[in-house]
């Protein structure tokens, strides 16, 4: 007997048939003698629809009301799944974030979970009841509803698994595991049996949407055993199914590169021809930080006339606020013009093997050059190399790199 958390994403609960399928999978685990808590997302497309309504009414809408609106998608699926479970003879009830409670900070739209009191759920699970919990949402100290950022149900599931001291956290989605890259754009991508927390964390943070970044961070810190598997694959599920996220030393055959990710969520900004003197970077990035704009990649080019171009990326959603902040500091730093380019993509290769192998970045630059793809910005970390390119070459670049690192299925 084990205590498990099962999480089902949007496509896995996209309609009543899918919800019945989920109920069947949960029942199987219950019948096997396991204690089960389930975390559900909103039906596929639902969160986008709700968010669209907020935007249509107001571009700069109140983030607290945004949360009140978008959190409803998960309420629907939790209730429906509880009904479907009761229908197949499993005792179940739905739990919204505030009812448990899942306590978060008050950063509306991107709240962090602070604490989950699992005692009530543990007691009921001990009686054989299934708890169906709304993903993506919690309650702030001021008792308003919060949401955890897009893809946040993964984080709800891992946090709940930690709070319940669950033996494992199974993340059911529409692919049968974590692949060497997004299998939807590279059909020859390979499923990984295991991936190290650190690699998964890095891949998620540079765009691999299969797990939300914060869920991996939490799993790593709380030692939650996370498995990614498909709710569309035929039963039965056994210990070998899907991809297990594990400590690095549990992986015997270490590859130099574990995977490749892409993101089209960023925009490039260039502040043209600012004087090349101390304090310029501090002024530019200070103004952005004051507006809560995160800056990712940065490059500076110094010209012969002792001016410099400062190029960097911010998330597309932050572009209006970044523009405003930079216009405000124009008198202080005297730049000639501000250029914006939203048609860029960030392509990243990730692998713990990079710590001990030289030449990873060079292979990347060579493969892109062979396809005549221009690199606009480069950034590196211990286990990652990222480049910024024109968005139209995203697929071409990912496929070329997948081949260059020998990741294609044989
Ligand atoms: P869910 O709604 O179940 O949370 P998501 O759409 O958030 O599902 O995540 C699953 C998707 O992640 C897959 O359909 C796939 O296109 C994408 N994806 C991106 N990178 C990877 C990868 N390296 N391995 C597997 N899937 C990936
Ligand atoms: N429904 C939310 C979203 O679409 C949370 C999730 O699916 O994980 O972002
Ligand atoms: Mg997701």
Residues 31-51: tens digit of each pLDDT: 999 999 999 999 999 999 999
Give yes or no for a contact between 130 and 26, defined as CB atoms under 8 angstroms apart: yes
Instruction: Give the confidence band of 142 by pLDDT, cuts at 50, 70, 90.
Output: very high
Domain membership flag for residue 406? no
Answer whether the bond into residue 41 is a cis peptide, omega within 30°. no
Average of per-residue pLDDT across 315-338: 92
Ligand 1 atom nearest residue 151's Cα: 7
Pocket test for ligand 2, best of 46, 135, 152, 160 (most atoms within 8 A of CB): 152
- The enclosing domain of 173 has a CATH number of 3.40.1160.10
Distance 209 CA to ligand 1 centre (A): 5
Give the CA-trace dihedral at 286, 290, 294, 300, to 10 degrees.
-20
Asked whether residue 333 is domain-assigned, the answer is no
Phi/psi at 335 (5° precision)? -80, 165
| Total tally of structural domains belonging to the chain | 1
Tens of pLDDT along 113-138? 999 999 999 999 999 999 999 999 99
69-81 tens-digit pLDDT: 999 999 999 999 9
Owning domain of residue 104: 3-249
- Summarised one tens digit per residue, pLDDT across range 75-111 is 999 999 999 999 999 999 999 999 999 999 999 999 9
Q: Looking at the domain assignment, is residue 328 inside a domain?
A: no
Q: Determine the pLDDT at residue 259.
A: 97
Q: Which residue has the tokens 């030449």?
A: 359
- Inter-CA distances, 111 with 46, 107, 150, 370, Å: 20, 5, 11, 43
Q: How far apart are CA 313 and CA 47, in angstroms?
A: 26
Position 235 scores a pLDDT of 78
**Averaged pLDDT for residues 305-316:** 93
Please report the pLDDT score of residue 369 as a whole number. Answer: 98
Distance CA 151, CA 168 (A): 20
pLDDT of residue 407: 95
- Burial of residue 272 (number of CB atoms within 10 Å: 0-12, 13-18, 19+): middle
For the chain, the average pLDDT equals 95
Tally of residues, the chain: 410
**What is the average per-residue pLDDT within 249-274?**
92
Residue bearing the CA closest to ligand 1, atom 25: 178
> Is 124 within the bounds of a domain?
yes
Rounded Cα–Cα distance for residues 128 and 397 (Å): 50
CA of 9 to the centre of ligand 1 (A): 10
Residue 256 lies in a domain: no
Nearest ligand, CA 210: 1
Q: Is the CB of 175 under 6 A from ligand 1?
A: yes
Whether 258 maps to a domain, the answer reads no
Indicate the burial class of 208 (C-beta count within 10 angstroms; 0-12, 13-18, 19 or more): buried
d(CA 220, CA 199): 11
- Is 404 part of a structural domain of the chain? no
What pLDDT is attached to residue 315?
Answer: 93
Among residues 93, 96, 108, 92, the alpha carbon closest in space to that of 135 is found at 96
Cβ(350)–Cβ(383) below 8 Å: yes
pLDDT (tens digit, 9 = 90+) per residue, 335-377?
Answer: 999 999 999 999 999 998 888 888 899 999 999 999 999 999 9
Span 265-287, average pLDDT: 94
The verdict on residue 221 lying in a domain is yes
């Amino acid at each position: 007997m084990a205590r498990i958390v099962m999480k089902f994403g949007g496509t896995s609960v996209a309609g009543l048939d899918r919800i019945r399928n989920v109920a069947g999978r949960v029942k199987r685990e219950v019948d096997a003698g396991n204690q089960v808590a389930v975390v559900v997302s909103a039906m596929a497309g639902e969160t986008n629809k709700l968010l669209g309504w907020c935007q249509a009414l107001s571009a700069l809408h109140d983030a607290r009301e945004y949360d009140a609106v978008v959190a409803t998608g998960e309420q629907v699926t939790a209730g429906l799944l509880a009904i479907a479970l009761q229908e197949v003879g499993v005792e179940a009830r739905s739990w919204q974030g505030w009812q448990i409670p899942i306590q978060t900070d008050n950063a509306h739209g991107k709240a962090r979970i602070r604490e989950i009191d699992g005692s009530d759920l543990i007691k009921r699970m001990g009686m054989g009841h299934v708890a169906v919990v709304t993903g993506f949402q919690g309650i702030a100290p001021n008792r308003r509803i919060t949401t955890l950022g897009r893809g946040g149900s993964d984080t709800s599931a891992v946090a709940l698994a930690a709070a319940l001291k669950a033996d494992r956290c199974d993340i059911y989605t529409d692919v049968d595991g974590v692949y060497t890259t997004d299998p939807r754009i590279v059909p020859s991508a390979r499923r990984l049996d295991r991936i190290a927390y650190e690699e998964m964390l890095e891949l998620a943070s540079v765009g691999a949407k299969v797990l939300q970044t914060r869920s991996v961070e939490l799993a790593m810190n709380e030692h939650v055993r996370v498995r990614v598997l498909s709710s569309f694959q035929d039963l039965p599920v056994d210990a070998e199914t899907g991809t297990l996220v594990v400590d690095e030393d549990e992986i015997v055959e270490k590859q130099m590169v574990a995977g490749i990710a892409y993101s089209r969520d960023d925009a490039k900004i260039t502040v043209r021809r600012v004087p090349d003197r101390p304090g310029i970077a501090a002024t530019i990035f200070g103004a952005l930080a004051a507006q809560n704009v995160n800056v990712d990649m940065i490059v500076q080019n110094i010209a012969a006339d002792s001016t410099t171009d400062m190029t960097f990326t911010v998330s597309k959603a932050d572009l209006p606020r970044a523009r405003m902040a930079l216009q405000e500091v124009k008198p202080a730093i005297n730049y000639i013009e501000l250029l914006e380019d939203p048609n860029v993509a960030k392509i990243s290769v990730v692998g713990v093997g990079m710590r001990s192998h030289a030449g990873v970045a060079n292979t990347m630059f060579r493969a892109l050059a062979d396809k005549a793809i221009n690199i606009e910005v480069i950034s590196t970390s211990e286990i990652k190399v990222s480049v910024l390119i024109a968005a139209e070459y995203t697929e071409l670049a990912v496929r070329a790199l997948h081949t260059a690192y020998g990741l294609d299925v044989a």
